[in-house]
Structure 1
Amino acid sequence: MYRPADFVEERAAHLHRIVQEHPLGAIVTLTDQGLDANHIPFMLDPARGAHGVLQGHVARANPMWTNVRDGAEVMVIFRGPQGCISPNWYPSKHETHRHVPTWNYEVVHVHGRLRIIDDEKFVRGVVARLTRRHESAQPRPWKMGDAPADYLDAMLKMIVGIEVDITRLEGKRKLGQNREPRDLDGAVDALQERGDTALSVAMAATRNQD
């Protein structure tokens, strides 16, 4: 990934945050038929291994888990807030007119080794953790016990567990760090006015990067 110095992000806490806040990852694998990508919600366990471990599952009918060998190198892409930034939002544009539109975003490339885990206990645990996390905001969160046991057992048999042992994290946060403070402020204010809170908050946070 092309990463100009202003936009390089190497702090594990920030990279883990992006993954945890935007858990739908695009896992890229190399098969005999060429490159393949699948979009899977992942759970990150940052405490395991040197860089953490991703856990998820795929449909048993998905050839992804049979088209790659266990231990194969993979990349998983997680994208945070993103959007187009208009030069009209920069005060300096109205003085010099030397600005063009650009696209700001946060992204993490997770490199690691794939582990296929075709085990009912593992799959049940992954589903339980994903459910607890993503149902927690509901007034009455759905839980696995709400479904009939025979139905749930049948559904679990239709999926296969996967893990990615992370070997390297590569992050990029292109959020206007190379702009004049007044231009950054102008873009943040314009995004807030348009209701793009996530990107405006991410950009505002670059003012006091630790």
Structure 2
Amino acid sequence: MYTPPAFRDEDRDSIRATLRAARLAHFITATAEGVMATPLPLYIDQKEGEHGVVYGHLAKANPQGRTAAIGDGLAIFMGPDAYITPSWYATKQETGKVVPTWNYVAVHAHGPVEFFDDPARLLQVVTRLTDVHEDERAAPWRVSDAPADFIQAQLRGIIGIRMPITRLEGKRKMSQNRSLADRSQVAAGLAESPRPSEREAAALVPIA
């Protein structure tokens, strides 16, 4: 990921927050048949290894899970993002020398990929992934709520993913390269957006 120094995020807590908040990631592998990518809900077990381990699962019919990866896999986790109009910049009124851009937060996780179909391991992954997204609900649904034989049948239709993270790249592009006047107006403009992601991005623009 191309990351100029001004946008590099090396704060481990910030990176972990982005990983936890991402609802959907993109899982990418290079193979002898070309690059393969699948949008997936993934979770990170932070207790394993130096940087954690990515877990998830693919449909067994998905060829990505049946094709050996060449080199490391890549999981892309996105945070808030927003279109930035030049109309917000104080510089527009001063010189007119401005263009549109896009603000965003992203984390790239790299590591060797393991695919597996052991039912016990698959059940652990499915249970953990479900709990991650159900725990915030008032009445969480649990995998154990469904009949055990039904769950076992469902597990036969998926392939597990395990990717120990060997390298993390964090990027937070939130107008840090603009003047304080420009940043203040960007934050104010985003705060009035009807899009939730853009209002989230407003809070990440440094104006202090």
TM-score, normalised relative to structure 2: 0.91
User: Is the Cα contact below 8 Å between 2:187 and 2:205 reproduced in 1?
Assistant: no
The equivalent of 2:33 in structure 1 is: 33
> What residue in structure 2 maps to residue 153 of structure 1?
152
1:112 paired to 2:123: no
- Please show how residues 91-110 of structure 1 align to structure 2 within 5 Å: 91-110=90-109
Which residue type is aligned with residue 47 of structure 1? K
Q: Would the alpha carbon gap of residues 32 and 181 (structure 1) be closer, same or farther in structure 2, given more than 3 Å must change? A: same
Structure 1 residue 27 displacement after superposition: 1.4
CA distance in 1, matches of 2:57, 2:27: 12
> 169-178 or 131-140: which moved more?
131-140
Q: Which is worse superposed, 40-49 or 91-100?
A: 91-100
The change in CA–CA distance for 1:196 and 1:189 in structure 2 (over 3 A counts) is farther
How far has the Cα of 1:72 moved from its partner? 4.6
Alignment RMSD (CA, Å): 2.0
Q: TM-score, normalised by structure 1?
A: 0.90
Contact between 2:82 and 2:197, CA under 8 Å: does it hold in 1? no
Structure 2 stretches lacking a partner, 5+ long: none
Q: Which moved more, 1:194-203 or 1:117-126?
A: 194-203
Matched with 1:190 is 189
Aligned counterpart, 1:49: 49
Structure 1 pair 181–208 and aligned structure 2 pair: CA distance change class (3 A): closer
Matched letter for residue 113 of structure 2: L
Shift of residue 96, structure 1, vs aligned partner: 2.1
Q: How many residues align?
A: 208
Please show how residues 48-87 of structure 1 align to structure 2 within 5 Å: 48-68=48-68, 72-87=71-86
Instruction: Report the Cα distance in structure 2 between the residues aligned to 1:167 and 1:7, rounded to whole angstroms.
Output: 21
Q: 1:51/1:208 Cα in 2 relative to 1: closer, same or farther (>3 Å)?
A: farther
Report deviation, 1:117: 2.4
Show structure 1 runs of 4+ deviating over 6 A. Answer: none
Distance 1:206 1:169 in 2: 22
CA apart distance, 1:157:
1.6
| Fraction of identical pairs, as percent | 39
User: Shift of residue 166 of structure 1?
Assistant: 0.6
